[in-house]
Each structure stands twice: as structure tokens, then as C-alpha cells.
Amino acid sequence: MKIKKASLRVTAIILALVANTAFGETYELVFDSNCSSRGEKLEFSCKSEPSFSSQNTTIFLRDGAWFGLEGASRKVFPLGLIKKDENVVVFNYPVLYSGIATIVLIKKTGRFYMSEISYSDALKVQDATIEAGRFTVGK
């Protein structure tokens, strides 16, 4: 029994190491505040806490393509790289309705800002959300 547990532990460690090396750059995002507006006018209400829909997210590079991984749901989604330089990394990501969404990582401050502006024809409503937080860089 002890040998079986030890071999399971070794296997888990090897899998963890292989999984981490399979990714290129990684960014761990932790949301800490949000502002949102819904309706015809942009009248934002802000809270110094993540929105109920926000989760910790990991952004990673794999085989030349960028992806996001939502924390609790473990859903993977594609990201488009808009810009990357010594100061920022900017991504676009899928929006449920018509619209645009971006994530901006500010390298020198370790902060990120996510903005989403969308419109639902079915609901006849526009929505704007800005969320912020901090991120760490992994290897």
C-alpha cells in the first residue's frame, strides 16, 4: 500500500512538472474590483470587490497560441494577441453577445484591466464592464 501511494505521488509530481513545462508564458489574474453600466447611458457603479461572475483566470501561451483558463469552471477560451511590448500585453477575447472585450496587462505595475462592451439584440440591452486586479507571471 505504501509503495502504491508513493508511486501515485511521484506520478502526480511528474504530471505537474510536465503540465507546467508544456506552457510558454503564463499570467495568473486575480480580480479585485469592478465597475459596470447597463442601459442607454454610461452610468457606472463601482465596487472594490470582484463581480460575482469573475474568477481567477490564467492566461497562457501554448504552441504559439494564447488561451485563457477560468479558475472555477476550468473552461479554456481562445485569446487574440493585439499588442505585446516591454510595457503592456493586450488581448482580445470572446464576447457572448455582439461587442468587444480586451484584457490589458501593465507589466511594470503588475495590474490588469479587463473591459467588455456588448449589446444583446435578444435582450435589447447594452452592457459595459471594467474589471481590475493584479497578476503574477509564471514560467
The pLDDT of residue 15 is 36
Give residue 47's pLDDT.
78
User: What are the residue ranges spanned by the domains of the chain?
Assistant: 25-138
Cβ atoms of 59 and 27 closer than 8 Å: yes
pLDDT at residue 20 in the model = 44
* Residue 15 vs residues 10, 29, 106, 124, 126: alpha-carbon distances, Å: 9, 23, 32, 47, 44
The topology (CATH level 3) of 25-138 is Lipocalin (2.40.128)
Query: Which of 91, 115, 113 has the alpha carbon at shortest distance from 25?
Result: 91
Q: What is the pLDDT along the chain (139 residues), one digit of tens a residue?
A: 445 444 444 433 433 444 444 557 899 999 998 888 887 777 778 877 766 555 689 999 999 999 999 877 788 999 999 999 999 999 998 887 788 899 999 999 999 999 998 888 888 888 888 999 999 998 6
Hey, which bits of the chain come out as E strands? 26-38, 45-47, 57-62, 65-70, 76-84, 88-92, 98-106, 111-120, 125-138
Instruction: Please give the pLDDT value at position 124.
Output: 82
